[in-house]
Amino acid sequence: MHGQNNWIALNTIWIKECTRFLRIWVQTLVPPAITMSLYFVIFGNLIGNRIGEMGGFTYMEFIVPGLIMMSVITNSYANVSSSFFSAKFQRNIEELLVAPVPTWVIIFGYVGGGVARAILIGIIVTAVSMFFVDVNIHSFTAIIVTLLLTSTLFATAGLVNALYAKTFDDISMVPTFVLTPLTYLGGVFYSLSLLPEFWQAVSKANPIVYMVNGFRYGFLGVSDVNVSVSVGILVGFNILLYGIAHYLLTKGRGIRS
C-alpha cells in the first residue's frame, strides 16, 4: 500500500508538470521550433554552404544533433527551475512538504516533467530539421541514452537552481551566464579537431561537449570524444546532482524559513 501511494503521488506530480507546459504550448513548444528553424536557415543554409564539409558530412548534417541537444538542455532546465520556483514563490510547495510524500518522489515528479518537455521539444526540432536535411540514425540506443541522461541531468540542475534562488532573476542568471556560454563552446557548431591541442584539452573540461558528441554519434556515427566516457560522465553528474537535490530538499534549504 505504501508503494502504491508513492506511485500515485509521483504520477500526480508528473501529470501536473506535463499539463502545465502543455497548457501554454504556444510559449513552451513553439518558440524552440522557431529558434531552431532560424539556426538551420542562418548557420545551415547561408553559412554552411560556404564552410562545406565537416567531419565528412555537410555542415547542416553536422550541426543538427548539436542543435537538437541545445534545445533539450535549455528546455529541460527551464521547465523545472521555473515550475519549482513558482511553487516556492506562491508558497504552495508547503503542501508537498506537509504531505507524507518521500523526497525522491518530489524530485522524480518534477524532473520527469522536465524530461517529458525536453523529449517533446527534441522530437519537434528533429521534425523541423527534416525540412532542411535528411536525418540518418547510426545508433538509436546512443540517441535515447544520451537524450534521457542529458535531459534528466539538466532538469535536476534546474531543481537545484530553484532551491537556491530567492528571486526570479536568480532563475535566469544560470542559463544566461553559464548554460549559454558552455553550450556555444560545447562543439555544437564545430568539431574539436579544428582547435589547437591546448584548446581541445580545455574544451574537454566542458561537460556539454560529451553530451553533444554522444548525441552526434547516435546520428552520424562520429564523435570527438569516447562515447563510453560521455555516458559515464553523464551518469556521474546525474548521481551527483540528485544527491545535492535530495540533501537540499531534505534539509528544506531555500524552502523553510
Span 80-108, average pLDDT: 86
- Which pLDDT belongs to residue 1? 46
- Which pLDDT belongs to residue 13? 92
Cell triple for 172:
535566469
Model confidence, pTM: 0.92
Q: How many CB atoms lie within 10 A of CB 146?
A: 27
Inter-residue contact 93 to 255 (CB < 8 Å): yes
The span from the CA of 54 to the CA of 70, in Å, is: 19
Inter-residue contact 33 to 198 (CB < 8 Å): no
- Vertex 141 angle, CA 220 and 72, to 5°: 75
- Which pLDDT belongs to residue 155? 96
Span 125-138, average pLDDT: 87
Span 17-26, average pLDDT: 92
Inter-residue contact 74 to 43 (CB < 8 Å): no
Place of cell 562543439: 187
More confident residue, 96 or 210: 210
The domain ranges of the chain are 2-251
Cell triple for 226:
569516447
Q: What is the pLDDT of residues 23-80, one digit of tens each?
A: 989 988 999 889 888 888 887 677 777 777 777 788 888 989 999 999 999 999 999 9
3-state secondary structure at position 256: coil
